[in-house]
Amino acid sequence: MIVWEEKDFAFVHNPKTGGSTVADLLAPHVAPSADIDREKLNWQFAVHSDMSMHSRNVPPCGLWTLAFVRNPYGRYTSGRDNENGLRFPPQTYYTVFCDHIARFEDFEDEIRRLCFRLQIPFKLPKRNASPERKPITEEEAALVYDFYREDFDEFSYKEDSWREFT
C-beta atoms surrounding 146 within 10 Å: 10
Whether the model pTM is above 0.85: no
Q: Where are the alpha helices (DSSP H) in the chain?
A: 19-30, 44-47, 72-79, 92-95, 107-118, 138-147, 149-155
Q: Which domain holds residue 161?
A: 2-165
At residue 112, what are phi and psi to the nearest 5 degrees? -60, -45
> Which pLDDT score, from 0 to 100, does residue 86 have?
83
Burial (CB count within 10 angstroms: exposed 0-12, middle 13-18, buried 19+), residue 147: middle
Reported confidence tier of residue 129, pLDDT bands at 50, 70, 90? low
> Which pLDDT score, from 0 to 100, does residue 53 have?
47
Give the full edge-to-edge strand order of the sheet including 2-4.
2-4, 9-12, 64-69, 100-103
Q: What is the pLDDT of residues 63-113, one digit of tens each?
A: 999 999 999 999 998 877 656 678 889 999 999 989 999 999 999 999 999
Mean pLDDT along residues 104-128: 91
Q: What is the rounded end-to-end Cα distance, in angstroms, of the chain?
A: 32
Min mean pLDDT across 93-97, 117-121, 127-131, 144-148 is at 127-131
Q: What is the pLDDT of residues 44-66, one digit of tens each?
A: 444 444 434 445 567 778 899 99
Which residues, at least 6 apart from 34, have a Cβ–Cβ distance to it below 8 Å? 27, 43, 46, 47
> Which pLDDT score, from 0 to 100, does residue 31 have?
76
Tell me how far apart the alpha carbons of residues 164 and 166 are, in angstroms, rounded to a whole number. 6
> Which pLDDT score, from 0 to 100, does residue 73 have?
95
Q: How many domains does the chain have?
A: 1
Residue type present at position 99: D
